[in-house]
Chain A
Amino acid sequence: MELKNTTKSGQAGWVRYCCKEGDCNEGVRFKNTDPLNEEPYDIAIIGAGVVGCALAYELSQYQSRVILIEKAFDVGEGTSKANSAIIHTGFDAAAGSLESELVSSASREWPDMAQKLKVPMVQTGAIVLAFSEDQQKQLAAIQQKSVDNGVTDNEILDATTVRKLEPNVNPNVRGGLRVPRESIIDPFAVSIAFAEVALSNGTDILFGAEVNSITETDQSVKTVHVNKDLKIRCNIIINVAGLWSRAVADQYKGEAFHINPRRGQFLLYDKTCRKLIEHILLPIPTKKTKGKLIAPTIFGNILTGPTAEDLPYGSNDANDTTQEGLEEIEASTHQMCPSLADQPVIAAYAGLRCNCQEGSYFIRFNDMHPGIVTVTGIRSTGLTSSFMLARYIIDGMKEQSGLNLIRNTKAKNSRDESSWPGWWKPPYENEDKLASCPDYGKMICYCENISSGELRDALCSPLSPQTTDALKRRTRAHMGRCQGFNCGVPIIETVRDHSEIPMASVTKRGPGSNWISPQVQKEAR
């Protein structure tokens, strides 16, 4: 397949939000005058989760016209935002699987990739803990599996060494397996960074765009219909819509697969207890589940979880935490690290993994139609494998669809130095920066020391976030121990002022999630 390669070389793409007038900044609101139908796109990516964003990033290294279509109001709003925030080595994957191959190769490149993307990442290492003789015996098998997966730099530890490395684990520990390259990362920044680089290389991004139907599927130029009246024409469609991938695949009658969301609940502990652990602590996996881990977060908290609850097809918004789920996490993680029981929890969240009955990493090139690619069943390892999976998909399209791609030598593959988030490199530690702009000294989020200057920078960043959650994921404001008690409304006011919209239009994560109830009538006060 020959692409027209109508790349806007050296020109950045655009970001637009589909919504009513007044619901977002007018400058980035999609209007019918915006160029969408002139020339067909080479490739349309449906879904801006971490895999969709990584695809946009990798494709933007080639001369191609790409559009990223997302129904939410930010990148990474689904499965990609609620996970354990770990870059895996793949030591416990099914050896020989595509997942194992992609995760293993991605994990080696991640330290370099994180530097390029300016995404905070720290290699803490992980320890698989054994608490019984029986479990201790299993360590050798896990070590062998790890070696089979190409992760050879692991070591079996005796109980004394485990206690020395992790003095707060249950003293009944019998031994452990240390996997040094397991790392923690800012999970939100990954999708954002991929998308920002792609954008600067010419990828267009359309938010608030829900796919209704796909037509002319057997033609070379296909049409994706979004929001009832918009048509996006393109040569290739890549369906990476995660939990919604089945609904999208139904539009082109793609091969049969079944998605059952698998819910994972997590508990987040206050930063005051960060020093309790050094490594990611994992239980011995059983046949049924990988079990619940205790992990430091890159932000300085500790998180515990996840549960693994299989939900029926379509429960795409069932990201509830439940009392039972949270108690289940506490029961098993307090057993691993008893000191946690005395530590304050500040928040709980739940994510839905895209669990595919037909197996994980379900990928179909030319799915019933030439030029349509289905990628689904990316469960817990998508954050790690994202860009390797993207490269795998691109290679597959070259081979199986005869896609001819030419490198764009002018393309960027990194973000600027100024993209490091303020919580990682605090502006108040930079005397010149603070002196030149006093806003970096005015704290809005007291718990995380996030200033009004950082909020402004985030709002002016390339993807121009339009919701309070989007701002929160970029800055960490509202994510501290008071969970918005102090900064909640100042953040709403900041978005209102920057977007120049009324208070009643500011949303948590897009239209419908307004901070002011639509039931409140305008009244004379």
Chain B
Amino acid sequence: MNSSVENKFKVVIVGAGPAGIGIAIGLAKGGIQPIALIDRADRIGGLPAKYVVKKKGIPTFMVWTRARVLFGQQYVEFLQQELDRTDTRVHLNAQVISVNKASKEITLVSPDLGRQVWKADSIVFACGARERTITERGWISGKRPARVYHTMQLLDLLDGNACLPMKHPVILGSDLIAYSAAAKLRIAGAEDATMLDKAPSPKSNPAERLYFRWWCQPTWTSNKQPVSIQGSDGTKTVETKDGRALECDGVVVSGELLPNSELAAAAGLEVSMPNRLPILKGKSSFSEPGWFATGNVIGGFHGAQWCYFHGRKVAKSVVDYLTR
């Protein structure tokens, strides 16, 4: 528990989702060690790990190499097997408190390790993404009642607690994540959602919509104007500028991923604002040598397997950097 203890690694990877695991495996195959893979959660797998296997559940993770759609948890289990074949040191429940660009040191805190400073020759951010907040979307205002959820919270309730939070949902957003939220709510016992987005047609593509049609058929509402969430205690309606009031007992604000680039920004690495995109050369390395990013932290919305292969690919750049 001594915070002055300095662990030294060739590479520290921040984030043990598909991209972080991909890069760990890629580095191991490239003969790099020791490698540390850390995550703030209590399990590896990042967001996909939250999509647990359920009897009447809906698999939503397309695994192209197997031409199958799996549950996130199943895909993470494949990754875990691959990872177990490497010597990667995995530390869970570890939160990075600060990053020092000049010395390539990170300070982390965890219940097992206490507070420690780790040093590495190269540091890789595989921190994933989160959903844009309500206000950050720029077209949703109103009150702040209970039961306005992000998709992650919905997952934590539905899959983590077997607990359905709303019967009549309105979903704000219309991408693949929004459709999967609608479907998950439907099979948990909610009615078909009303889906609303500031777009002429749903952002999810027709093939994706066709896939989810088996489970849910949300009522699509195109809306060009801002909306407001209403309800003094619990969520009651979503109101549109033209006077429509969509009645509901909960709202899911879904999709629109934002990269978790804050650690990189805090370290003084280049991140553009306000979209929080890391400024990268060749989609993976910062202008400062030895600093890399992989997976959804580079921006955009990519599937789990894309992130894994991106990690594998970026691993080659990291190996090049370390062995040049």
Contact = CB atoms under 8 A, between A and B. Distances in A.
Interface of A: 267-268, 272-273, 317, 319-323, 325-326, 342-349, 428-429, 431, 434-435, 438-439, 441-443, 446-447, 449, 481-486, 488-490, 493, 503-504, 507-521, 523, 525
Nearest to B234: A513
Interface stretch (B22-30, B158-166, B288-296): B158-166
Contact of B115 (A319, A348, A431, A488): A431
Given A320-B141, A439-B111, A489-B156, A512 B233 contact: yes
Contact of A347 (B40, B133, B145): B133
A343 B112 CA distance: 37
Given A346-B136, A485-B130, A513 B146 contact: yes
B211 to A, nearest CB: 23
Contacts of A525: 162, 164, 188-189
Nearest to A349: B144
B153 interface: yes
A326 B141 contact: yes
A489 B161 contact: yes
Given A446-B40, A519-B249, A431 B130 contact: no
Nearest to B164: A520
B233 A344 contact: no
A434 B162 CA distance: 33
Given A321-B141, A507-B146, A517 B1 contact: no
Given A489-B160, A525-B162, 9 more contacts: A342-B274, A344-B276, A347-B135, A439-B111, A441-B111, A483-B150, A488-B152, A513-B233, A520-B166
A434 B93 contact: no
Nearest to A516: B165
B319 interface: no
A493 B250 CA distance: 19
20 contacts: A272-B273, A320-B143, A322-B228, A323-B139, A323-B226, A344-B273, A348-B135, A348-B141, A438-B111, A485-B152, A488-B150, A493-B161, A503-B161, A514-B147, A515-B146, A515-B165, A516-B147, A517-B166, A517-B249, A525-B189
A449 B233 CA distance: 28
B286 to A, nearest CB: 16
Q: Which 9 A-B pairs have the closest CB atoms?
A: A489-B156, A512-B233, A438-B111, A508-B146, A517-B249, A513-B233, A513-B146, A323-B226, A344-B274
Interface of B: 1-3, 40, 93, 95, 97, 109-115, 130-131, 133-136, 139, 141-147, 149-150, 152-153, 156-157, 160-168, 188-190, 226, 228, 230, 232-234, 249-250, 262, 265-266, 273-274, 276
Nearest to A428: B109
A517 B167 contact: yes
Contact of B1 (A319, A343, A347, A431): A431
Contact of A272 (B133, B144, B165, B265): B265
Contacts of A507: 146
B141 to A, nearest CB: 4
Contact of A344 (B136, B167, B250): B136
Given A446-B40, A512-B233, A520-B189, A488 B149 contact: yes
A486 B152 contact: yes
Contact of A434 (B1, B131, B156): B1
Contacts of A449: 95, 97, 109
A510 B234 CA distance: 10
Contacts of A268: 135
